[in-house]
Amino acid sequence: MTDALELDALWEDFHRVVNMTSQELAAWLRVRDADENAEPLPEEAGSPTGRHVLAILQKRRIDLTDDDVRVMYRVVDTVTAQTDLENEPRAEDTRGRHRLMTIGHDPLKP
């Protein structure tokens, strides 16, 4: 696992880029996967990464696993790369916004 200072920085970065609450993310994952005929079970809604982000949001820092840390790095890198000034999804870029929301970042949220 990473050292304490690196983990502290990662924890802060992760919670900076994941700007949706666990409730908002859980609701989004359910809505995203629902279709006109069925809605998935809450624990099966969303992508594996989205579900993992949701699980991390519900943990204390001390309870993180090595797998959690890997996902946190991936999410921070993904959101950072996709939200730089030139690539920031705009309101009209629904697909880009929804893709980021599946990992807990809503680019239109203040």
Q: N- to C-terminal Cα distance for the chain?
A: 33
pTM: 0.83
pLDDT given for residue 93 in this prediction: 77
pLDDT given for residue 41 in this prediction: 54
User: What is the DSSP-derived secondary structure letter of residue 20?
Assistant: S
Q: What average pLDDT values come out for the chain (110 residues) when binned by 10 residues?
A: 87 97 92 60 70 96 96 96 66 81 90
